A and B are shown apart, each in its own frame.
Chain A
């Protein structure tokens, strides 16, 4: 649950930096933002691996029967689909970013100290291919996050079913 909130904040921060830095003219600030964006993305990826391992070993509670019964079938389906898709993008977006950086000829050196491997070799054509995909996937993830937040607030303010409380600290 802690990882949920921490990584949610991280996603918004990383996206904001990525969005701002992409069209900056060449400058020391642009270099700094690019590197911080990559370091944060790699840390996010590492924490997401931990989060996935946790989730696989600690099954999250299912939707309470009463709440599920009150939801139209399409809503239950999109509940599951949104969460699954978000998990796919949690991995796809940073991995694509890492690949793009490697293909562009700029290996990632975490915090300026730890050189990370290139799992893709420098290749201009590949870099040009990945670049828009990384951005598109990031936009898709933000879109799903928006949908997720809207749905949670719908449960909280419209259905008033208290579903949100299980994601809050000091729950139950």
Chain B
């Protein structure tokens, strides 16, 4: 039967695909990763972070132009560590979490700067606002684990974070530093 003659090659192809490590399954290890932010409130630096986030990564050091990263942050997981501040974050003037439960970053280009350093350009979407950002990446590898770290500035007003009476930048500064440390598995040699 025709089907039988196809079966063997199909099975072989299937098994081979399963056995290939290759650029399959590049994964973020959220438990060993951090995504946070720092802002100033009347000069006082305040740190916050997100407890839930995920990423889909396609990274090949030999072909940086084809690299892609799509990152998603659970906005409800944001915390500053002080209860009254955390109660404030989901409100409409701030993250408006009920209406915009996720923030995303989608890369559009990867530029290799040498020495494990990259410049990733992409769209950051928060609270329904999208802005182009350039994210510096420093990548290092230890065995099977790859770490990508970086810091980049955003202007909170561009994302309408802190509206109405909170738009006053003498109270909460416009500049916010977003910091991240992403631990990845399944990434080939850098």
Contacts and interface: CB of A to CB of B under 8 A. Distances in A.
A22 B47 CA distance: 23
Interface string B24-67: 00000000000000000111111100000000000000000000
A104 B165 CA distance: 25
A124 B79 CA distance: 14
B88 A108 contact: no
A112 interface: yes
Given A109-B43, A112-B43, A113-B43, A28 B166 contact: yes
A26 interface: yes
Interface in A95-136: 104-109, 111-113, 115, 124
A112 B42 contact: yes
A129 to B, nearest CB: 16
A10 B42 CA distance: 22
Contacts of A113: 43
Contacts of B41: 31
A106 B87 contact: no
Interface of A is mostly: loop
Interface residues of A, number: 17
A105 B44 CA distance: 10
11 contacts: A26-B87, A26-B88, A27-B165, A32-B171, A35-B42, A35-B44, A105-B82, A107-B44, A109-B44, A111-B43, A112-B44
Contacts of B43: 109, 111-113, 115
Interface in B164-181: 165-166, 168, 171
Contacts of A111: 43
A104 B80 CA distance: 11
Contacts of B45: 107
A89 to B, nearest CB: 26
B42 A31 contact: yes
B158 interface: no
Interface in B79-138: 81-82, 84-85, 87-88
Given A28-B165, A112-B42, 14 more contacts: A26-B84, A27-B165, A28-B171, A31-B41, A35-B42, A35-B44, A105-B81, A106-B46, A106-B82, A107-B45, A109-B44, A111-B43, A112-B43, A112-B44
Contact of B168 (A26, A28, A112): A28
Nearest to B162: A28
Nearest to B91: A26
Contacts of A28: 165-166, 168, 171
Contacts of B165: 27-28
Interface string A27-39: 1100110010000
Nearest to B41: A31
A31 B168 CA distance: 12
A3 B168 CA distance: 36
Which of B43, B82, B88, B165 counts the most A-chain CB atoms under 10 A from its CB?
B43
A46 B100 CA distance: 47
A32 B82 CA distance: 17
Contacts of A35: 42, 44
- Among B42, B82, B171, the most chain A Cβ lie within 10 Å of the Cβ of B42
A115 B82 CA distance: 20
A108 B168 CA distance: 20
Given A28-B165, A28-B166, A104 B82 contact: yes
